[in-house]
Chains A and B, each alone.
Chain A
Amino acid sequence: MNKNYSWILMLTVTLMFIGIIISSQSNSVEEYMATLEAQDEPDLLVLWRSNDERLSSLQGEYYLLQNEYDDMLSQTSQGKISIDTFLEEIDSIHVFNGDAKTTGPGVEVVFTGEIPLVATELLDIINELNNSGAEAIAVNGKRLTSRTHINQVPTDYGYNLMVDRMLITYPLSIQAIGDYHGLYTGLTIIGGIMDKLNSYSIFPTISRREDIIIDASPDKDDYQAYKQPTE
């Protein structure tokens, strides 16, 4: 009896160990999947390139700020103050945020609507344009911002696409400002979003344009509500 008891105890302890190891194994696999070691060489190359681009963009930003700071200090030493710094930065941020009417080169993607897009497809296209470096995007003239919500609303005959509660009709035009080679390549890359749409018989027209003009986002009321940022 005593012998049996010790045997059961031993087995219980062993099984407990096995359980702990299995669960920690699962967690390790989950974490491992997101590590660099778990990635293939082509994926690592993509990561390397993406980091490289980000690093050079940050480098540019750093030098810009450093110059701004140096200018500011030298002006202060001369007892001057320039408002150019403010104005330039405000302009940049307004372009970035969609608060200013913006222009630049880029691409325009037009859908005729024979086969309508669903909201997730529109989101995928916009995300792909952002991946490819778009600096400003508009759908049927409506500038997209960080708060833009895209959805579809069912109707009697199907559904309507909405961007920030604005009804999107066809022809649906997506305009994106940025490096048009990058934007075009991002959209048409093999196995990318255009291939996916083509498989649903959706064949948009992609035009490279020199001078896209995108209106400012009309949602500016936030600025009036602004008081003071938290420090």
Chain B
Amino acid sequence: MKIKNVLSLFLVAALLGLLSILLYQTNNPSDPVVSENQQLIDIITQQESDIEEREQNIEGLRNAIDAELDQQTQGLSVITSLRNSLQSARYFSGLNERTGSGIVLTLSDNVQGAELAKTENPDQYRPENYIIHDKNLLYIVNDVKAANPDGIAINNQRIVSNTNIRCVGTVILVNDRRLAPPYQITILGNTDEITQAVFDSGEVEYLVTSGFAITYESKDELTLPAYKGSPNPQYATIYVEPPAEPEEPEEEPVVEPEAPVEQPSSPDETEQTPEEDVAPETDPDASEGDTGTDTDEVTDPEAEEPEAPPVDPQDAPPEEPATEDPAQIPDDQTEGTPDPDTVVVPLDEEVTTDE
């Protein structure tokens, strides 16, 4: 009896020891592959702390600029109104903190499901089925936007117009910042509408039925952090309407009748020579020859249609009704039919993904 007791105790202790070792190894991996990557990990960790420091510096500078502006613009009504426009623009684009009521939705990995699957069906166990993915966050964020919220953040990363949500390995990045579970989605706005949007969300429903732990909490006062990245675009600029074309001094062609005999030589030459030069040589295979001439040929005949291509016709009145009609997108944006607004890079750069 005694021996039996000792044996059982020994087994239990052995199991305990094994689990402790496993736990220790998980927290302190000394695997050779991990050590090989250690240098890279150190660099990334350093980068992350640099990013954080830079973000704080930027925030500090923005505050300093604001304070300076405040001081400078006291009593100057014109500047004050400009300043208000700037503040309002910042506020609505997520560059300032925002406070209000809303809900916090918390998503956690399905740890219990994973444990169960591991013990019951280890062969078919796939860990990726039990963790929250970038797509889950992306779709939930989109679903709650149905409630027209005032602002959204995931684990303190503000969702702005160009926020990206993606994963690298098992890590989720939002605004290029690494997040760790649990994922807290903070949504500001009308609590009832947001709650309804959460309940209506197909993605939330999918996660709940798949056994993920999702909780939500409604709060009267929540604060969304400001977006820490740069709002300054490098490629996009404000569109400036081209100067209105001079009315109709184009009537110069009226000069044509003046010299009917010369007509073939001067005016036509400019338009027709390229065609004539190319046509006899390339006409037989006129399909998709070399890019340069091809694009030229394509544009010529079409140039007759949009002869006066007003870049964006009557956009001058700023308060046009919302362009709700998708039909306004020209059909001719596929390959080979360059529209007058946009220069299509030669055909070899035009890619259709089909085989």
Contacts and interface: CB of A to CB of B under 8 A. Distances in A.
Given A50-B176, A169-B327, A205-B351, A95 B236 contact: yes
A10 B10 CA distance: 12
Contacts of B40: 41, 44-45, 48
Nearest to A75: B72
Interface residues of B, number: 134
Contacts of A188: 351, 353
A215 B353 CA distance: 28
Interface residues of A, number: 130
Contacts of A39: 37, 168-171
Interface stretch (B22-30, B259-267, B272-280, B288-296): B22-30
A14 B12 contact: yes
B231 interface: yes
Nearest to A140: B326
A60 B232 CA distance: 9
A12 B310 CA distance: 84
A101 B238 contact: yes
B26 A226 contact: no
Contacts of B164: 127, 130-131
B345 interface: yes
Contact of A151 (B93, B146, B236): B146
B2 to A, nearest CB: 10
Interface stretch (B247-255, B301-309, B336-344): B336-344
Nearest to A89: B86
B230 A57 contact: yes
A105 interface: yes
Nearest to B328: A141
A86 B83 CA distance: 7
Interface of A is mostly: helix
B263 to A, nearest CB: 35
B300 interface: no
Given A55-B51, A58-B58, A135-B233, A34 B170 contact: yes
Contacts of B312: 213
Interface string A45-85: 11110111111011111101110110011001000010100
Given A36-B41, A89-B86, A124-B135, A47 B323 contact: no
B215 interface: no
B322 A86 contact: no
Given A90-B86, A103-B237, 9 more contacts: A7-B5, A17-B16, A28-B27, A108-B333, A130-B163, A146-B161, A197-B353, A205-B350, A229-B87
11 contacts: A25-B22, A30-B111, A44-B41, A46-B168, A51-B44, A58-B228, A96-B160, A151-B142, A207-B345, A208-B344, A218-B323
